[in-house]
Structure formats: C-alpha cells, structure tokens
Amino acid sequence: MNDESRALTPEDWGFFGLRGLLLVTGSLAYFLLNKDSGRPDIGGNLLVTFFVGVVITIAFLLLAYYPKFHKGVPYVIVVGDLALIGVYAGLGFLGDPILRLVISTALMMTAAIRLNVAWSAVQVIAIVVAVAADLVMVEGSEQISVWMPLLAPQLTLFIGLSLMAVSLSYIHEKSGETQKLAIERLSRRSKSLVDSVRERNRVISDMAVTLSATLNPDRVLE
C-alpha cells in the first residue's frame, strides 16, 4: 500500500466488497436454513452479526485510509476475524457443515488479498483452531471421533482451502513486489532521461553563449 497518500488501493476495495458479500450471503443462508425452525432469535442473530461485521469493516477502512495507521490493518483483520468467527459460532451459524465451511473459507480467502503471507498464516491458523474448538465444544470429542469417517472429506477440503488461502497471499505478495520493482526501474529510467535532457539543454545553452560571444567582437574584447 502507498504509505504517502490517503487513498484506498484496489486490494482494500476488494477486501471491503468481498467482506460485504460474505455478510449478506452468510446471513441469507442462515435465514433460509432456519426460517422454518420456529426459532425466535433469528432476526436478533442476523442483526448482531451484521453489527459486528460492519464495525470491523469500518475500522479496517479507517486504518487503511490513513497512512500512519497502516501497520494496524493486519491486527484489525485477524482480531476482527476471530471476533466474527466467534459470533458466528456462538449464534449457531457454524452448526451447519456447509455454512461452517463457506464462512471460514470466505474469511481466509478474502483476507489473503490484503494480508502478507505471514499474517495470512496467522489468520488461517487462528480460524482453523476456532472452528475446531467450536466443533469439540458443540459435538464433544467422543462424538467427533465417531463421526470422523464422515468428517474426513470435509476436513480435507477445509485444510486444502486453508493452504490455498496462504498460497494466494504469497502469490499476491510476490506479484506486488515485482510490480514495485518494475515501478522503481521505470522511475529510475525516467529520472535518467530527465537528467540527460537537462544536461543536453545546459550544453546547448553554453554553446549558444559561446557562439554569441564569438559573433560579438565587443564581448570578445571584454
């Protein structure tokens, strides 16, 4: 990110848009899965998740917009994601296997476009631990061991997507470094060209002065 100007990068806008999409689709899926259950707390749960998600997103945008706060962006994303996954778990969003996989994967994938590889790894590990802890607390370790043959494909996919999120962050980080080097090379070439033009103009100016003095006898005598 540019640390010298107040401007949101395409990565910032991408993260913002994808997180908004996650909040909407996750809430819609939760509503559709529970609308016939007769639960009275569906509306309240949706309101809480939206509130937490919006607060985290606004905090991210403020830190991303002001250069002096850029170092705090990874902390907001990682801590915010832990808070969000905790809210999802506490309100029962992660009780459905599909929602559990989609929400946790979406958090990891969207963060990969904004975090470097080290922070992405931290975020992925934190989410994996949080999801595993929720499974153990809800189902119990003994029940999970019984269901392990059924959970194995889902866990394999989950781990694969987690590694993919870290890989995407690594690829994005390296492509950013390559782009930065290309811009620096272009800047050096532009500076060299400007210096060359200035030197040429100076030489031409000196030659013009010399020629003018040569053609003016009075100036030569002086």
In the chain, where the domains are located: 10-177, 180-221
Whether 85 and 107 have beta carbons less than 8 Å apart is answered as yes
Rounded to two decimals, the pTM is: 0.63
Please state, in angstroms and rounded to a whole number, the distance separating the CA atoms of residues 183 and 172. 16
Confidence of residue 179 (pLDDT cuts 50, 70, 90): low
The 10s digit of each residue's pLDDT in 36-84 is 777 667 778 788 888 888 888 888 888 888 878 888 888 888 888 888 8
Whether 20 and 56 have beta carbons less than 8 Å apart is answered as no
Question: Over the Cα atoms of the chain, what is R_g?
Answer: 29
